[in-house]
Copies of this chain bind each other. A is one copy, B any other.
């Protein structure tokens, strides 16, 4: 674990001034209104404290920063080997098995990683295939050589149709190329049961990592699902876990005004109570672009529920919207500033970027251009970030800013754990099961029915009778 001074210098901060009535007038929360949530916040905190680590509640993820010493060592050794032996590394997975790896890749790698010359990149080209679009699979196969590729197949059950369809395509190709499959595969799956365990046995033992019980897909980035791809990219996964542990420690505080994740959950919950059903996540950093995608799953799938914990009907959940600063100032901010008062905007800001990128002097005779010279792009993006928060505040729009002092594996670990805890707290305040996803079952069954899987004849009949309805088309 990193020393205390390092951790504190790397601490993220949340500035929620622009959520409050002192900035927003009657569009903001008064101190008193916010304080009114303290009891609920305390209960949510207690719920998480009481249940952390419980696999049966899918809360095993809270212990990932602490219980993976041996796994981390194993992953590091495997990753070193992969970096040496393979030219390509492809994750076959979807949902939580993909969004975390994509997020960490984008956050901590060169933004044109795959375009770098091999000797600069020093590791395999990296792809995460999280769709079954036939064009995408076709086009991927144009740019990789399967024989020189390590495929990381990620599925708890080994029954995820998308991932297993990809597996069938890839394993057939490898076989036809005369490759001993187990040399080019790594599975991340259940410890004992499931189809990938069976397949591993039939192939003579595929190197496999465990997707632990109690860790749902959207909370899996800090287990082998995310750690192996990150390590293959050369990311220091110990630092990632250290950052998460540091955030966990900060959030041990019961007092909501001292606990960043708890206070953020309260702000979002209070906004939802006012009918703000949209949550915009707007990083001012291309490296954090896919953080918004990862967060969108975490927040949507965790909170979008139709039943409370005591079985009452409800329809809750805030819809996450992904935006990118400054880019989407030129696309979405018009709506944020003038449209309905139906959203909370979360800015993700960096205290310092990896580079400053000076803007040279030029066009001195053109004031609209010349004034930029002598500044840096870092100054420009930070000024735009601050200006946008300010303008939205003046327009009476709730927004708050999460700032990382800089972006590295430690601060990314902090940020992930902050959002995971915030989600757990918010779910507890909504009194729902934060960790299940029953709402996707019907669609899965309908897919099986449409593909003629046996056992789904009744569902097929249902679909056919819907097809027989009057069609409205234009």
Q: In the docked arrangement, what's the CA distance between A161 and B169, Å? A: 48
Contact of A353 among B135, B159, B388 (CB under 8 A): B135
A80 at the binding interface (Cβ < 8 Å): no
Q: Please, which residues of chain B bring their CB within 8 A of the CB of A191?
A: none
Cβ of A6 to closest chain B Cβ, rounded Å? 21
Question: Is there an interface contact between A110 and B142, defined as CB atoms closer than 8 Å?
Answer: yes
Is the Cβ of A195 less than 8 Å from the Cβ of B363?
yes
Q: Give residues of chain A (306-357) contacting chain B, Cβ–Cβ below 8 Å.
A: 306-307, 315-317, 319, 321-322, 324, 326-327, 329-343, 353-357
Give the distance in Å from the alpha carbon of A257 to the alpha carbon of B376 in the complex: 54
In the assembled complex, the Cα of A361 lies from the Cα of B165 at a distance in Å of 10
- Of the stretches A205-213, A232-240, A464-472, the one at the interface is A464-472
| Cβ of A178 under 8 Å from chain B | no
Can you show 22 pairs from A to B with CB atoms below 8 A apart? A17-B473, A135-B357, A137-B357, A158-B368, A158-B369, A162-B330, A164-B369, A164-B372, A165-B375, A168-B361, A195-B368, A297-B332, A304-B338, A307-B338, A317-B340, A319-B319, A330-B440, A334-B440, A380-B451, A383-B450, A390-B446, A395-B439
A35 lies within 8 A of chain B by Cβ:
no
The reply to whether A329 and B112 form a contact with Cβ atoms under 8 Å apart is no
Q: Is the CB of B342 within 8 A of A277?
A: yes
Question: A185 → chain B, closest Cβ, in Å?
Answer: 13
Q: Does A179 contact B (CB under 8 A)?
A: no
A159 touches B368 (CB 8 A): yes
* Cα distance A259–B135 in the bound complex, in angstroms: 31
* Cβ contact within 8 Å between A359 and B165: yes
In the complex, chain B residues whose CB is within 8 Å of the CB of A218: 331
Distance in Å: Cβ of A347 to nearest Cβ of chain B: 12
List which A198-219 residues lie within 8 A (CB) of chain B.
198-199, 217-218
Interface presence of A463 (CB below 8 A): yes
A87 contacts B by Cβ under 8 Å: no
Q: Which of A370-390 contact B (CB under 8 A)?
A: 371-373, 375-381, 383-384, 386-388, 390
A228 to B316, CA, bound (A): 46
Question: Is A217's CB under 8 angstroms from B440's CB?
Answer: no
Q: Does A82 make an interface contact (CB < 8 A)?
A: no
The answer to whether B473 touches A16, judged by C-beta atoms less than 8 angstroms apart, is yes
Please judge, given known A-B contacts A17-B469, A357-B169, whether A135 and B287 are in contact too, CB under 8 Å: yes
Asked if A78 is at the interface (CB within 8 A of a chain B CB), the reply is no
Name the contact of A451 in the complex, choosing from B20, B293, B383, B449 (C-beta under 8 A): B383
- In the complex where A287-B135, A390-B466, A443-B384 touch, is A13 in contact with B369 (Cβ < 8 A)? no
A33 within 8 A of partner (CB): no
1/0 per residue, CB under 8 A from B, across A391-415: the answer is 1111100000000000000000000
Query: Do the beta carbons of A335 and B304 come within 8 Å of each other?
Result: yes
Given contacts A112-B142, A439-B333, A474-B259, A339 and B317 within 8 Å (CB-CB): yes
* In the complex with contacts A17-B469, A168-B363, A332-B296, A340-B134 CB distance below 8 A: no
Q: Per a CB cutoff under 8 Å, which of B284, B342, B451 touches A319?
A: B342
B439 touches A387 (CB 8 A): no
Q: Check A172 against B380 for contact (C-beta < 8 Å).
A: no
- What's the minimum C-beta distance from A129 to chain B, rounded to whole angstroms? 10
Give the shortest distance, in Å, between A280 (CB) and chain B (any CB).
Answer: 8
Among A48-56, A61-69, A92-100, the stretch in contact with B:
A92-100
* A84 contacts B by Cβ under 8 Å: no
How many angstroms from the CA of A99 to the CA of B332 in the assembled complex? 12
* Bound-state Cα–Cα, A16 to B471, Å: 8
Q: Does A227 contact B (CB under 8 A)?
A: no
